[in-house]
Amino acid sequence: MINIQIMSVASFLKAEHSTAFSFEVLPPLRGNSIDTLFNSVERLMQFAPAYINITTHRTEVVYKEVSPGIFQRTTERKRPGTVAIAAALKSRYGVATVPHVICSGFTPSELENELIDLAYLGINDLLVLRGDKAKADSRFIAEEGGYTHAVELCEQVSAFNKGLMLDGTTHDAFNAPFSFGVAGYPEKHEEAMNIDVDIEHLKAKIDAGAEYIVTQMFFDNAKYFDFVARCRAAGIDVPIIPGLKPLTSLTQQALLPKTFHIDLPMELATELVKCRSNDDVKALGVEWGTMQAQELKAAGVPSIHFYSMNAVASIEQIAKKVY
């Protein structure tokens, strides 16, 4: 395994190596112990992850009752600590960490401050995303003066790498500039008019400095391979990392297609409707996820990225069969 502590995640993905293992973690809810997160990470460290991603969640609008019948509108971040967790995981496990930096719920100034903090901590890998809309909104609404599209944040990071600050001043460029990836959608982003327009938008993010792509979860490998072919035809030549999430519960029959706007292939759907318990679904999820991962590894993908929320045990079982 290449020691990616001396290179960026993007450089590692472009280098010659066998298919790597990586995964994404969710910061604990505010007030909860980090030990639960550490316990989950430690179950997966046996597979020598090349890097660990840490998600970021936007501020949410909440209404708090300040007196009987009187509510005050305020905002709060229910899962804070992405920067701190990235630093803690890097220090504790000696593995590269990739915090998510998002437009959603942040102003450009707040994002600039986050970049400064990360640079001081020596965390130079990022995943740049637009992020989700607020739960109370029917569509994505940027913060005042904020970004509507991830490409704008890509441009800010690239400008920061050149020493350009938002207020027009300059700083001495850091020894290790940020290297960042972006998200890709094999079944297209829910707001894109069609897959070709979506790939045009993806190409713009690559042109703005992104060095690799991590896909949203998918359950049909053919859609990933078709997506890669479309990207290559559009002139996108950076690594494209497949993202997988094992099925773990009966509710995902409806929840995943509704939330992520993805299809489950008929073969999987036929088996899923036969499941009578979450344990049945977990067994199916491990079987299907193993099949997907083995095929992707055989195809020589640079890395397979696993979404670990509520699925650590399943990922552990899959990785034991694949790595």
Among 82-86, 115-119, 143-147, 149-153, which stretch is predicted with the lowest mean pLDDT?
A: 143-147
Instruction: Look at residue 263 and tell me if it is in a domain.
Output: no
What is the Rg, in whole angstroms, of the alpha carbon atoms belonging to the chain?
20
Q: For residue 183, give the amino acid letter.
A: A
- The pLDDT tens digits for 269-317 are 999 999 999 999 999 999 999 999 999 999 999 999 999 988 999 999 9
Residue 253 lies in a domain: no
* pTM as predicted: 0.90
The whole-angstrom separation of Cα 129 and Cα 76 is: 20
Query: Which amino acid belongs to residue 112?
Result: E
- Whether 229 maps to a domain, the answer reads yes
Kind of pairing between the strands at 179-184 and 20-25: unpaired
Query: What pLDDT is recorded for position 4?
Result: 45
The domain spanning residue 74 has which CATH number?
3.20.20.220
pLDDT exceeds cutoff 90 at 66: no
Domain that holds residue 188: 4-248+282-322
Q: Output phi, psi for 80, to 5 deg.
A: -80, 175
- Burial string for 54-71 (b: 16+ CB within 10 Å, else e) reads bbbbbbeeeeeeeeeeee
| Phi–psi pair at 29, nearest 5 degrees | -60, 150
What letters, b where the CB count within 10 A reaches 16 and e where it falls short, cover 90-124?
Answer: beeeebbbbbbbbbbbbbbeebbebbeebbebebb
In a domain, 260, yes or no: no
DSSP state of 98: E
Backbone angles phi, psi at 310, to 5 degrees: 60, 20
Residue 177 has pLDDT above 60, yes or no: yes
Q: Is 205 inside any structural domain?
A: yes
Tell whether 226 is covered by a domain: yes
pLDDT digit string, tens, across residues 212-227: 999 999 999 999 999 9
Q: Is the Cα dihedral 61, 65, 69, 71 positive or negative?
A: negative
Whether residue 233 lies inside any domain: the answer is yes
Instruction: Name the domain count of the chain.
Output: 1
Average pLDDT over residues 197-203: 97
Q: Distance between CA atoms of 316 and 294, rounded to whole angstroms?
A: 14
Residues 77-111: pLDDT tens digits?
655 679 999 999 999 999 999 999 998 888 999 99
Asked whether residue 126 is assigned to any structural domain, the reply reads: yes
Dihedral sign computed on CA atoms, order 37, 43, 48, 49: negative
For the chain, the straight-line distance linking the first and the last C-alpha, in angstroms and rounded, comes to 12
CA-CA distance, 107 to 249, in Å (whole number)? 36
| Main-chain phi, psi angles of 93, to 5 degrees | -115, -5
